[in-house]
Amino acid sequence: QSALTQPASVSGSPGQSITISCTGTSSDVGGYNYVSWYQLHPGKAPKLMIYDVSKRPSGVSNRFSGSKSVNTASLTISGLQAEDEADYYCCSYAGSSTWVFGGGTKLTVL
Amino acid sequence: EVQLVESGGVVVQPGGSLRLSCAVSGFTFDDYAMHWVRQAPGKGLEWVSLISWDGGSTYYADSVKGRFTISRDNSKNSLYLQMNSLRAEDTALYYCAKAEYDILTGPDYWGQGTLVTVSS
């Protein structure tokens, strides 16, 4: 159950697009289409932004999108806004009803 | 509105025990599996445990297997985490989270967490 690999930080200016990667193995990210992304603001409950690789929950802006290629999933945020500044975590099913998270990425909006 | 409220986090000595609770509302509790996830200070999220809708199936991270027990009381809309043989590395903010639906689905709605500190 090794953590998925995410960049520690990414940054972008308002209006730009950024992509956060999440690299695992064929036993987790590559083996299932069960990758989720969460947004964490300090002191608040984590918020689900993407599930099942690319599906958006009701109420989540269409500026957020997800994809996957082989063992790497990606979260793209387009039209960056100040309120997008937060920590983002990926999560993947890892078989046998266990789950694994990424190490987290701090997004800074410049 | 879906709400999850964790409680029970305190300072406990190494080797001690603690039971966390999570009270839920805003959805039909016994229709969904439930997760516990934790975040150590300055660290990332770590999946801890999962329980099926009826409590009949439970799953654990290797780091807590044999020490933690997840359970639920559907009559009380409550989820629990019994934590035994606590270690310093169990110090973390513990979140309960609703699964999207069954044990093959990840967390969707989360609480704000309860802080467990293991220290002498």
**Sequence-ordered strand ranges (E) for A41-109:** 47-50, 64-69, 72-77, 86-93, 99-101, 105-109
- Which of A43, A57, A98 has its CB closest to that of B61? A98
CA distance B116 to A92: 25
SS3 for chain B, per residue?
A: CCEEEEECCCEECCCCCEEEEEEEECCCHHHCCEEEEEECCCCCEEEEEEECCCCCCEEECCCCCCCEEEEEEHHHCEEEEEECCCCHHHCEEEEEEEECCCCCCCEEEECCCEEEEECC
User: Which SS3 state, helix, strand or coil, does residue A22 take?
Assistant: strand
The token pair that represents A38 in the structure block? 């969460």
Distance from CA of A66 to the nearest CA of B (A): 16
- pLDDT of B102 reads 86
Mean pLDDT of the region A27-40: 97
Q: Cβ B50–A99 below 8 Å, yes or no?
A: yes
Mean pLDDT of the region B1-12: 97
Distance from CA of A89 to the nearest CA of B (A): 8
Residue A3 DSSP symbol: P
Banded model confidence at residue A103, pLDDT cuts 50, 70, 90: very high
**In whole numbers, what is the pLDDT of chain B averaged over residues?**
97
User: Which residue from A minimizes the CA distance to B45?
Assistant: A101
Banded model confidence at residue B103, pLDDT cuts 50, 70, 90: confident
- pLDDT of B104 reads 84
User: Which SS3 state, helix, strand or coil, does residue A18 take?
Assistant: strand
Distance from CA of A23 to the nearest CA of B (A): 15
Q: What percent of chain A has pLDDT over 70?
A: 99
